[in-house]
C-alpha cells in the first residue's frame, strides 16, 4: 500500500533546466561590469634594444662623411678663399670655428675647447643610451637621434684633434647676406633636431593613445 504520508510529486520538485547558451563576456571592475569589447588598451612600448645598433650605424655613416668632406676641404681649399659653386648662393670656403654654433665664445681664450668637447661627449653618451630605450615604433625619433649623435661626434673629433671645428659650406646671397659657414655634422644636427621636434609635437601622443 502506498504510504499515506507520501504526497504527489509537486512541480517544484522537478529538475530545473539550466540555460547553457553562451553569455556575452564581461570584465568586472568593482561593482560594475563592462563588456570586454569596450575596454581600452594602452599600447605597450617596446624599446629599440639591440636594434639600436642599426641607428648607431647611421650615426657612424654621418661621422665618416663628415670627416671625409672636412679632409677634402683641408686639402683642396685655401683658408678663407671662397670657391664659387652655385653663384650667387653657394661657395666652398674653408673656415675654423673655435666656439659653438654661430662662433659663440670663439674668442674666449681656449677654455671653450674643453667645455664644448665635454658637452658634446656628455650629449653623445646620453643619445647612445636613449637610442636603446627609445620606442621601436618611433622610427622618426630614432632617425633624428642618430643624426644628432653623428653630428655631435663629428664635431667632437675636430675639437679633440685640431682644437677647432672645420667648416666649409658657405651659403650666401652675393655680398648682401652671409649665413655662418658650416659642415656636414652641423647639417646632421639641424635635421636631427627638427625630426625630434616633429616627433614630439605630432607623433608622441599618438603612440601613447589607448586603443579600444
Task: Single out the catalytic residue among 66, 158, 167, 199.
Answer: 167
Residue 103 contacts residue 180 (beta carbons within 8 Å): yes
Task: Single out the catalytic residue among 66, 158, 186, 199.
Answer: 186
Answer yes or no: 6 catalytic.
no
Of 146, 154, 124, 160, nearest in space to 192 by CA: 146
Answer yes or no: 186 catalytic.
yes
**Alpha-helical runs (H) found in 134-183:** 139-162
- For residue 14, give every residue at least 6 positions away whose Cβ sits within 8 Å of its Cβ, in sequence order, or none: none
Q: Phi and psi at residue 181, in whole multiples of 5°? A: -65, 140
Burial per residue of 139-176, b for 16 or more beta-carbon CB atoms within 10 angstroms, e otherwise? eebbbbbbbbbbbbbbbbbbbeeeebbbbbbbebeeee
> Which DSSP category does 36 fall into?
G
CA dihedral 87, 83, 158, 139 (to 10 degrees): 30
Q: Would you please indicate which residues are annotated as catalytic (active-site) residues?
A: 167, 186
Amino acid at each position: 500500500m502506498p504510504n499515506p504520508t507520501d504526497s504527489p510529486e509537486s512541480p517544484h520538485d522537478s529538475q530545473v533546466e539550466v540555460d547553457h547558451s553562451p553569455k556575452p563576456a564581461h570584465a568586472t571592475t568593482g561593482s560594475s561590469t563592462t563588456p570586454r569589447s569596450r575596454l581600452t588598451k594602452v599600447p605597450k612600448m617596446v624599446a629599440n634594444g639591440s636594434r639600436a645598433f642599426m641607428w648607431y650605424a647611421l650615426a657612424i655613416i654621418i661621422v665618416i662623411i663628415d670627416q671625409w668632406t672636412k679632409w677634402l676641404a683641408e686639402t683642396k681649399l685655401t683658408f678663407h678663399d671662397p670657391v664659387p659653386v652655385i653663384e650667387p648662393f653657394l661657395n666652398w670656403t674653408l673656415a675654423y670655428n673655435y666656439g659653438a654654433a654661430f662662433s659663440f665664445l670663439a674668442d674666449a681664450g681656449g677654455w671653450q675647447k674643453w667645455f664644448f668637447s665635454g658637452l658634446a661627449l656628455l650629449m653623445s653618451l646620453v643619445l647612445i643610451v636613449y637610442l636603446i630605450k627609445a620606442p621601436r615604433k618611433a622610427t622618426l625619433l630614432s632617425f633624428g637621434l642618430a643624426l644628432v649623435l653623428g653630428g655631435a661626434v663629428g664635431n667632437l673629433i675636430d675639437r679633440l684633434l685640431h682644437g677647432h671645428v672645420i667648416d666649409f659650406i658657405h651659403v650666401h646671397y652675393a655680398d648682401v647676406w652671409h649665413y655662418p659657414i658650416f659642415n656636414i655634422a652641423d647639417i646632421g644636427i639641424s635635421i636631427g633636431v627638427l625630426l625630434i621636434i616633429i616627433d614630439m609635437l605630432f607623433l608622441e601622443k599618438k603612440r601613447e593613445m589607448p586603443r579600444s
